[in-house]
Chains A and B, each alone.
Chain A
Amino acid sequence: MQLTVWTYEGPPHMGAIRIAASMQGVHCVLHAPQGDSYADLLFTMIARSAKRPPVTYTSFQARDMGADTAELVRKTLRETVERFQPRALLVGEACTGELLQDQPAALAQGMGFDCPVVPLELPAFTRKEQWGASETFHQLVRTLLRGQSPRERDPVPEGRRPRANLLGATALGFRCRDDIAEVTKLLDSAGVDVNLSAPAGASPEDLLRIPEADFNICLYPEIAQSTCAWLERMFKQPWVKTVPIGVGATRDFLLEVGEVAGIDTSAAIAAGRTRLPWFSRSVDSTYLTGKRVFIFGDASHVIAAARIATEELGFEVVGLGSYSREFARELRATAERYAVEALITDDYLEVESAVLELAPELVLGTQMERHIAKRAGIPCAVISSPVHVQDFPARYAPQMGFEGANVIFDTWVHPLMMGLEEHLITMFREDEEFHDEAVASHLGSGKVSAASAETAARPAATAEPATSADGMGTETALVWEPDAERELKKIPFFVRGKARRNTERFAAEHGVARITVETLYDAKAHFGR
């Protein structure tokens, strides 16, 4: 039993609905009690889908449980197939359905439907949404391709461009709609055609054409990795593993496409237009140097964000983590590169205490971290699902490819205060406009008090025993002299957390029990900015 306030992922059947909702001609029947139909609103309200997700629930209630719930399943299946005439039928159960043990998938297989039936086993009490999506996609592809025999791969014939499948984009995924468009453009520039994208945009008939591609591109490993591995075994289709998020990763992606497809992609790499490198080198961006950033989200986006943050924007990664437990190994390897420890958790409270403890200057995360950052008064940009309605933008806003890099530069820099503005606030502490409690001037409304939030966040941070975890030892209670506390206030709020931490660390290391103004400046000299 696990206490949860907010959850990063829904149950595994939510993943199955996402696969069905991504495709055409696929319908999902779930043995689930009334109430579980809430899942529809994530598609219709948050992603503003104009269509209901293609899912039918048995909606059993207490009074049905005295009777024959299996018959309710059969009736629902019969009516659903008759009404929607799907070309592939996914059949599974939500958590309570699983406890009833009516075996809806087996029932469906015995009903003689014309369309392929994909039985789903989604253990609701051990697995979660991403796993459910990955498993559903995998089972759907396996079921549909069952008739096709494994084959050897012929080299791409002369005069035909290599063809690739884009695998892993789903409904409710982060910026999938625009990533597909951007990656399609990118591949075209390298002389590669897209055979199909799946699950997003595909029909069951499209999935039958998967083996016609020369190779697969695993765009979202959380969803497509197991399918790509299976396709490689069955149809000898190699797959591209680099996720093209960020300038460096996009270039690496094109190199890998070149290797896998046996073509030269250097021209496409050279022609890639992106403003990120120049914007980042331009002197205005000096103020980005060494900004302390905390990153949390799904595995792929976190790994990509860490690379962009360090190599392409000159930030310092002070912490990273993910709720994608399935990719813990990859995350730990990434974390090691930045000399931090990966926080693998789906506990929002753990992430919150890590953020408060590390006091980063920028948080890159999900909707949850947006909340955490808001409470702590720290600027935040969203890089990964789960997201809210504002992260399904009307405009073209991919994360992948060269245009994705432009989008990322704007999105991450926007929440921060501009360079000169930082200096104004540092110089004029009591100016009407550039005072301590002011928000970045381009961020509009009101006196959102990052400064007062900093003080609000402090008691929470110290109340948690988190500080002892990094060996600083909470047992030696440090006392700030009033003078020192006042001097600290003169440091702009966006670096004040760091100054406080550094000073306390310096004091602890040097056996100073009372922090004076002198200690503050000693620490500053010791650590630098």
Chain B
Amino acid sequence: MTARTAPPPARRRRAGGLGPSPWWGYAMIAPAFIGLAALYLWPFLKTFAKSFMDTPAFGPGTWTGLDNYTDLLGDGDFWQAFGNSGIYTAILLLGVPIATVLAALIQQISRGRAVYRVLYFLPVVTLPVAISMVWRFIYNGDFGLLNWVLSLFGVQGQYWVADDAYAIYAIGVVGIWMSLGVNLIILGAGLQSIPPELYEASSMDGAGRVRQFFKITLPLLSPSVFLVTVLTVISALQMFDLVFVMLRSVDNTALDGSKTIVYLFYEKAFVQFDQGYGAAIAVVLLLVIMLATVLQFRLQRRWVFYD
């Protein structure tokens, strides 16, 4: 009994010794709490609820159970958008090995690192809308730069972003180009933590750069590569801007066959004002992202090296 009653005063005294009354804590998190509750927690619950409702543009909605979800499963547009987001994500994952090699190259050179970092980072700080416009011009089928360059090599040009057969791949290339800078910085920070002695020792043993990359850099950098992979998947599944700008024609609709999940969500919830259906799309997106992330954490044991 005494043992059970003894701790609280001691704890209170300790708390009193460490800081002022708990009300200070509540007061300081109050702005964050109010904001996050009103703008994130509550909207999240609302969206979740709406996904089970039929929501007319005006007036209250009615509960319809799983109707939105069963409609989604039978909706060809949804599966197509889902597939497009999958393709886009897969293409962006190709950017991870590219970034890994480039990060290692930058680490190896003795001068000029800062210049490369800045040049590779430029797309990150440029408006995605602006980037989309520039690439749309480069991809132009009639007088775009890409088709001209390809013609120099005798390759037949295409209407890259006006043709569903190519559009999502063309956008994927831009996505890799855009995300390279961020990936390089994260991987570069990971490279800093590899002890230089390892490279020196292996150089003395006669190991070349390529061998060092596979035997030292890659295993020791794998936690950072893993982080970049997880972040790439999460952000690629949420891609919106590039589709919105690059694929919209003058009549304000994107190429039908090349929409991504988030574009479809935007169109349903905020253009057609079918919020219930849009909400269901968003909830499915959440599930897909969670599943993809959990899966990657499961698989990491196979290839990520922690010391």
Do A and B make up one complex? no
